[in-house]
């Protein structure tokens, strides 16, 4: 760093970082119960030293993967900005990813509370405008506030954590919870 200005990353370093995040994303968003750093390095085609040079620990890498997922949500929200009815499918996808991305969710719960809060606030902020548009068009009940989305996320998480790992029941219970929550939020047309 020269006079407080950070030099741009070399292209190969940026490629390695991107490969690591993509590999970690693939593994952390799968239905696997645990993901090891050596496996992420192997999948990214880099050595462990390269992985740790970019991400000093599992939590830094977790934050990068969550950031990527939030960026994908932002792109989805932007792509459907003129479709108020699309809010249901967006919210449904967010809730179902909470179910299917268990390794990432478990790691996210171990992040510092400030980091967790920052991501949660960004997700709610991204969903606030589509929620408002869906309400204006009569798709969503008027009394739902953006902060209520956190209650829905917590409800789904509670169902998942309240059942035993490895059982078929958590998935079915979570699916039913999501369906009930969405039916309570959205109006039929």
Fold of 58-185: Tetracycline Repressor; domain 2 (1.10.357)
Give me the mean pLDDT over the 168-179 stretch: 82
Dist. CA 176–CA 184, nearest whole Å: 12
Q: What is the mean pLDDT of the chain?
A: 89
Same fold for the pair 9-56 and 58-185: no
What pLDDT does 63 receive? 95
Q: Do 81 and 130 contact (CB within 8 A), yes or no?
A: yes
pLDDT band, very low/low/confident/very high, at 102 (cuts 50, 70, 90):
confident
Give me the mean pLDDT over the 164-177 stretch: 72
**Choice among 80-84, 150-154, 160-164 with the minimum mean pLDDT:** 160-164
CATH class name, domain 9-56: mainly alpha
Residues of the chain with pLDDT > 70, as a percent, come to: 90
Tell me the domain boundaries of the chain: 9-56, 58-185
Q: pLDDT tens for residues 6-51?
A: 555 688 889 999 999 999 999 888 777 677 899 999 999 999 999 9
Q: What are phi and psi of 57, to 5 degrees?
A: -155, 175
3-state secondary structure 98-163: HHHCHHHHHHHCCCCHHHHHHHHHHHHHHHHHHHHHHHHCCCECCCCCCCHHHHHHHHHHHHHHCC
Dist. CA 90–CA 109, nearest whole Å: 22
Q: Do 110 and 59 contact (CB within 8 A), yes or no?
A: yes
What pLDDT does 3 receive? 47
Residue corresponding to tokens 């950031």: 67
Give me the mean pLDDT over the 91-112 stretch: 91
Q: What are phi and psi of 5, to 5 degrees?
A: -110, 120
What pLDDT does 108 receive? 92
Sign of the dihedral through C-alpha 36, 42, 43, 49: positive
């Amino acid at each position: 760093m020269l006079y407080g200005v950070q030099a741009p990353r070399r292209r190969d370093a940026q490629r390695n970082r991107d490969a690591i995040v993509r590999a970690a994303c693939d593994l952390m968003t799968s239905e696997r119960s645990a993901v090891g750093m050596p496996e992420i390095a192997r999948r990214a085609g880099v050595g462990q030293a390269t992985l740790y040079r970019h991400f000093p620990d599992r939590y830094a890498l977790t934050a990068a993967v969550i950031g990527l997922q939030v960026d994908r949500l932002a792109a989805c929200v932007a792509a459907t900005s003129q479709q108020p009815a699309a809010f249901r499918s967006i919210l449904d996808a967010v809730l179902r990813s909470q179910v299917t991305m268990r390794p990432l969710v478990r790691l996210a719960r171990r992040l510092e509370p400030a980091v967790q809060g920052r991501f949660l606030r960004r997700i709610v902020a991204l969903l606030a405008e589509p929620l408002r548009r869906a309400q204006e068009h009569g798709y969503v009940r008027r009394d739902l506030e953006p902060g209520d989305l956190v209650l829905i996320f917590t409800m789904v998480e509670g169902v998942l954590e309240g059942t035993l790992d490895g059982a078929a029941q958590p998935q079915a219970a979570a699916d039913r919870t999501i369906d009930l929550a969405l039916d309570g939020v959205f109006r039929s047309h």
